[in-house]
Amino acid sequence: MRRDAGRSRPAKILRDAVLQHSARGQFHSTGLPVPLESARAAEIFRRPTGEIQANFSSSCFRHKNAGSQPEDHNLPESAIFKASRIANSDNDGWLSDHAVVVDTGGRVEAVIPSSTLGDTSGKKTYDLGDVSLLPGLVEAHSHVHVSPDLDGFANITTETDDRMVMRAVGAVRKALLSGVTTMRDIGSRNEVAFPVRDAIESGVIPGPRLQLAGTPITTTAGHCWMFGTEADTLEDVVRVVRQQVKLGANVIKIMASGGNFTPTSNPRMTQYPAETLRAAVVEAERLGIYVVAHSHATAGIRNCIDAGIHQIIHCRWLSSDPTVPMDYDPEGAARLADNGTWVDPTIGLSVLGAEARAAGAPQRRLHWGVSAARPSPEQTIEVLKDMRDKGVRYTTGLDMGMAYADYDKSAYNAISFVESLGYTPWEAIAASTSVTAEALRVDGAVGSLKSGMIADMMSVAGDPSADIRALAISTDVVKGGVPVKLEGRALV
C-alpha cells in the first residue's frame, strides 16, 4: 500500500551529509539528524499546525557553510535592511525610506524610518537601495520531485529516487532564490520530501522552510498513484493518515477526484466517498493537522464540502458527463464560503501555459477524460470570480512541478490574480504572503514584516503595486535574517 519511506539510498545520502555537517547530531522522528541548535525548532515545525503560530522558529532554517562563505556569514546577526519602499504590516501600502531591524534570533525587531535609526554600531547594515522590500513569498502548492516539463509523467514513472532527490535539491534552491521563503509541498515521494526538508533544516542545502504532506493519499491506480501511497478503504485511509504523521507530515493531501496528470484516473469522477474523506479529516484533526483535497470534479467538490475538507485544490467543477465542460454549483460555492474552506485555483499555471504556447512551446498532453469538452479559460475565470464574490477565499498555489510551472515562477500566482481575477496588485501581494500564510496556519510567524515575525524578505527592482509583473524577478532574498541573495547574486 505504501512505499517504505526513509529507507531509500537518497535518504541515506542526505542522512550521511547531515552527519558530516555537524558532529553534534541528534535524531528525530524521521531518522535523520538535526544539529542540537536547530533541534528544538525542527521539533516545533512538526507539532500540530495550531501550535506553530506561537512557536514557529527560524533557527532551523538558517543555511550554514554555503560554498566558500565562512560559517558565520550565514548565521543570524543583528542587522538592518534599508530600502526606499518597504511593505507595511498589512501588505497594503508602502513605507518610504524605512528600515527593517533584525535581532540575533533572525526575527524582526522593528520597522522604522531610516532617519530614526540612531547609533547603528554593532549592527550590520544592508542598504538595498531603490527597491521594493516585501515579505518572503509563501508558496502553497509544489511537488519538488517532479520535473516541470512535458515529460514530467514519463520521468516520475521511470526515474530513480536518487535522481528525484537531486532534482528536489535544485528545486528548493531555485524557489528560495526567487523569493519563496516558505513552501508547502503537497505531493512528493516520502523518500524525497522528508530527507530534503531535514537537509534544509540542518543547513546541508539551501531552501525555503517546508510544510509537507509527503505522498498524497489516492486509490489504486488513482491520481498520482506513482508517488507511492494507495489506499482504497476507509480503514486504509485512516491508517495512512497516521503513517504520514508518523513520518513528519504536517498536512494531509488526499485525491478526491482523478487528475489530468494521471491517465489511469478520471478527472471528472470521484475517487472517495464523502464518508471516507470525512474519516481522513477526523483523524487529521485528532492529530492536530489539516487536510487538503485535490478535486476537479463537481461530485468530488461536493463530497469535500460534506466531509469538511479544510482546503480544496483546483476546484474546477467538471461535469461527470464527458460531453459537458462544467457543472458549476453556485450553492456549493456558497457553502464553501460559509464553511471557511480555502481554495487554491491554480490559475498561475494556466497563465504560464498560455505564455509558453504563445512563445512556441507545444501543448501539453490532454487527458482523455477532458479532451472532448474542456472548459474555456473564460468559463473558468467567470466561475472563479463568482466564487470570490460569494466569499470564497483563495490561497495562492502554482502547482510547481507540473508542465511550465518551474520552481522560480511563484510570482505568477500574484500575476494571474491581478490579470485574470481582477485583484488589485496589493490584494495579490497579500495573497502571496500573509493570506496564504494564514491558510497554512503560520501567519503568526511569516507573511508580514512586523515586530516578532521571522525576518523573511524579498525585494524587486520595480514597484509591484504599479506593475505586478515586477514581482517576477527578485533582487534580494533574506531568510530568517540571513541574506541568501544580494543585488541579484546568489550567496548560497
Residues 283 and 106: their CA atoms lie apart, in Å, by 35
- Residue 81 backbone dihedrals phi, psi, to 5 degrees: -120, 110
The Cα-based distances of 6 to 189, 210, 244 in angstroms read 10, 17, 12
pLDDT value for 256: 98
pLDDT band at 10 (very low <50, low <70, confident <90, very high): low
Q: Structural domain of residue 264, as residue ranges? A: 137-439
pLDDT value for 367: 79
3-state percent helix, strand, coil for the chain, nearest multiple of 5: 35, 20, 40
Asked, for residue 487, whether it belongs to a domain, the answer is no
What is the gyration radius of the CA atoms in the chain, in angstroms? 22
pLDDT digits (tens, 9 = 90+) for 418-428: 999 999 999 99
Which residues on neighbouring strands pair with residue 53, listed in sequence order?
A: none
pLDDT band at 362 (very low <50, low <70, confident <90, very high): confident
Asked, for residue 312, whether it belongs to a domain, the answer is yes
CB neighbour list of residue 396: distance below 8 Å, 6 or more residues apart: 138, 139, 140, 344, 348, 410, 413, 414, 417, 431, 432, 435, 436
- Provide the residue type at 408 as one letter: D
Residues 115 and 465: their CA atoms lie apart, in Å, by 24
Q: Shortest CA distance to 63 belongs to which of 157, 178, 185, 173?
A: 173
Residues 293 and 309: their CA atoms lie apart, in Å, by 7
Asked, for residue 187, whether it belongs to a domain, the answer is yes
pLDDT band at 352 (very low <50, low <70, confident <90, very high): very high
Neighbours of 35 (CB within 10 A): 21
The residue-averaged pLDDT of 276-285 equals: 99
- Average pLDDT, rounded, for the chain: 88
- Residue 68 backbone dihedrals phi, psi, to 5 degrees: -95, 5
The residue-averaged pLDDT of 317-329 equals: 97
Sign of CA dihedral 180, 181, 185, 188: positive
Residues 77 and 79: their CA atoms lie apart, in Å, by 6
Strands (E), 70-207: 79-87, 94-102, 108-113, 124-127, 132-135, 137-142, 180-185
**Is residue 28 scored above 60 in pLDDT?**
no
The residue-averaged pLDDT of 278-298 equals: 99
Asked, for residue 124, whether it belongs to a domain, the answer is no
**Is residue 107 scored above 50 in pLDDT?**
yes
Residue 151 half-sphere exposure, CB side, CA atoms within 13 Å?
3
Which residues on neighbouring strands pair with residue 98, listed in sequence order?
A: 83, 113
Angle at 394 between CA 108 and CA 447, to 5 degrees: 5
Asked, for residue 212, whether it belongs to a domain, the answer is yes
Asked, for residue 292, whether it belongs to a domain, the answer is yes
Asked, for residue 90, whether it belongs to a domain, the answer is no
pLDDT value for 48: 53
Residues 10 and 25: their CA atoms lie apart, in Å, by 19
pLDDT value for 364: 73
Residues 280 and 272: their CA atoms lie apart, in Å, by 11
Strands (E), 176-297: 180-185, 209-212, 252-255, 291-297
Looking at residue 157, which CATH number applies to its domain? 3.20.20.140
Asked, for residue 434, whether it belongs to a domain, the answer is yes
Q: Contact at 8 Å (CB) between 414 and 436?
A: no
Angle at 189 between CA 184 and CA 190, to 5 degrees: 85
**Is residue 196 scored above 50 in pLDDT?**
yes
pLDDT digits (tens, 9 = 90+) for 40-79: 334 434 445 545 443 444 333 333 233 333 333 456 679 9
pLDDT value for 24: 35
β-pairing, 311-318 vs 94-102, is unpaired
- Provide the residue type at 419 as one letter: E
Secondary structure element (H or E) that encloses residue 135, with its range: strand 132-135
pLDDT value for 289: 98
Domain count of the fold of the chain: 1
Q: Shortest CA distance to 202 belongs to which of 106, 63, 107?
A: 63
